[in-house]
Structure 1
Amino acid sequence: MQSFLSTIQIKVNEKIYVKDPETSVLGKKIVQESVLLIDEIGFDTFTFKKLGERIGSNESSIYRYFENKHKLLVYLCSWYWSWIEYKMIFKTTNIDDPKERLKRAIIVVTEKALDDQTTAHINEAILGKIIIAEFTKTLQTKEVDQENKEGFFAIYKRVINRMVSIVNEVNPDYPYAKSLVSTIVQGSLHQHFLTEHLKSITNCNEPTGTTDFYLNITENILG
């Protein structure tokens, strides 16, 4: 897995940033430290001023990479879903049985993220926590329709549609493949949130509980 991911380069829609943070040491530091700071204080209280103080740089230098903190969060989410997509491709390539491919894809999108040593400047385990807590804030905005037109959520939708195509192989007659997969992907984030904060209203409190839950749903629905 590490050798595979070390050969790929994660691409994010260039409309999301002012300058690609992957092209400089400072840009990578902004991304790296923003992940850590958002995890520590939450996105609502996160500011570029606080990030600048943390990295020892002027606030203005961060604006040279991102127009605002919303765009930064969209960038981090896009990066995460691109990473998930590469993992899914790796796990499902050369697997002939569509049921096995679907199972592997579900595991990828529902399991808790672990840090990937091949991406030194981003801790995926911590970024995964941010996705669980903050991802809906990139979608539930007044600008969502325009941002969708500009392709801000293309990678997220591509992950879902890759799984939809597998569901259609497993059961071509099932009429709700898109709704099923989007529920699995988005619902798994919610279940992870509940296991962290509201354990009494979920049955997914075991380490693999969320994955097992969605595997069970899929098997019962698709047969």
Structure 2
Amino acid sequence: MDFLLKFKLNERLYLRDPESSDLGKTIVNNAIHLIHEVGFEQFTFKKLAQKIDSTEATIYRYFSSKYKLLTYILNWYWCYLEFVAKMRLQHIADPEEKLRLMLRIIMHDDAVVSKVQDYNLEKLHAIVIAESSKAYLVKEVDAINEEKVFSPLKSLCHFIHEIILQLAPGFKYPKSLASTVLETAHGQQFFSEHLPSLTDNKSRKEHRKYVFDYLNQLVFSALKSH
């Protein structure tokens, strides 16, 4: 099933809204493919311009830096993930079932769309796993945070923490657990795929299933012992 989604993202991330034109969407779409292909460190606007048969100046009319372009892509993904979660969880009453489904959604194991404005969701998820920490593990994080750039990530974590409290109202660390789950999902999958000795995935296969099982153990053990 295909969906056409549009999220209102922080205007400080772009000079011209990429959703406002076909060219802007082309820039974002091809940036996703290129970052996935070469990694954020090797990604440049020059390479992106060559990929879309345009000029660096054209890309700079939309984004002032590759950091802001990456953060834009990540913010789009956080909005998408929360949208999917709210859509899938709205008719579920049991909080434990909600939380287990939320973990599947975080693991991108419960995709409800196969195509979103031509964005490749699997490549988006791979970028989140490999590159998302680069959006906030920067020296200027406090100044960036004041501009509310991380609001989509915070909103998603808040949504998860509300589900945790529905299941365990007395749990002392719902926000910390929510953000830990999100970071662990990405970090452990990265380790499982590339540094497997840092995990207990003995098969060194089925990385997503391994991390999903680990998250269930981690989350529900913590909630039952509080």
Write the letter of the residue equivalent to 2:80. Answer: W
In 2: Cα distance, 1:176 partner to 1:62 partner? 42
Give 1:11 shift: 2.4
Of 42, 60, 63 in structure 1, the residue corresponding to residue 60 of structure 2 is 63
Give 1:172 shift: 1.3
Give 1:213 shift: 0.9
Write the letter of the residue equivalent to 2:72. Answer: Y
How many residue pairs are counted as aligned between the two chains? Answer: 220
In 2: Cα distance, 1:65 partner to 1:111 partner? 29
In 2: Cα distance, 1:115 partner to 1:47 partner? 32
Write the letter of the residue equivalent to 1:197. Answer: H
Give 1:170 shift: 0.9
Q: How does 1:142-161 map to 2 (within 5 A)?
A: 142-161=139-158
Is residue 222 from structure 1 mapped to residue 219 from structure 2 by the alignment? no
Q: How does 1:49-60 map to 2 (within 5 A)?
A: 49-60=46-57
Is residue 183 from structure 1 mapped to residue 180 from structure 2 by the alignment? yes
Using the aligned pairs only, state the percent identity. 36
Contact kept, 8 Å, 1:17 with 1:66, in 2: the verdict is yes
Q: 2:28 matched to which residue of 1?
A: 31
Instruction: Say what the alpha-carbon RMSD is for the aligned residues.
Output: 1.7
In 2: Cα distance, 1:106 partner to 1:127 partner? 18
Give 1:30 shift: 0.5
In 2: Cα distance, 1:217 partner to 1:160 partner? 17
Contact kept, 8 Å, 1:98 with 1:166, in 2: the verdict is yes
Of 114, 134, 137 in structure 1, the residue corresponding to residue 131 of structure 2 is 134
In 1: Cα distance, 2:68 partner to 2:110 partner? 22
Contact kept, 8 Å, 2:16 with 2:63, in 1: the verdict is yes
Write the letter of the residue equivalent to 2:221. Answer: N
Give 1:195 shift: 1.7
Q: How does 1:1-223 map to 2 (within 5 A)?
A: 2=1, 5-6=3-4, 8-111=5-108, 116-204=113-201, 205-206=205-206, 207-223=208-224
In 2: Cα distance, 1:151 partner to 1:93 partner? 27
In 2: Cα distance, 1:111 partner to 1:49 partner? 31
In 2: Cα distance, 1:34 partner to 1:176 partner? 37
Write the letter of the residue equivalent to 1:209. Answer: Y
Give 5+ residue unaligned stretches, structure 2.
none
Write the letter of the residue equivalent to 2:146. Answer: K
Give 1:201 shift: 2.2
Give 5+ residue unaligned stretches, structure 1.
none
In 1: Cα distance, 2:41 partner to 2:182 partner? 24
Q: Report SS of the residue matched to 2:91.
A: coil
Write the letter of the residue equivalent to 2:100. Answer: K
Give 1:112 shift: 5.2
Moved >4 Å (runs of 4+): 112-115
Larger deviation, residues 194-203 vs 79-88? 194-203
Give 1:10 shift: 2.2
Give 1:149 shift: 1.4
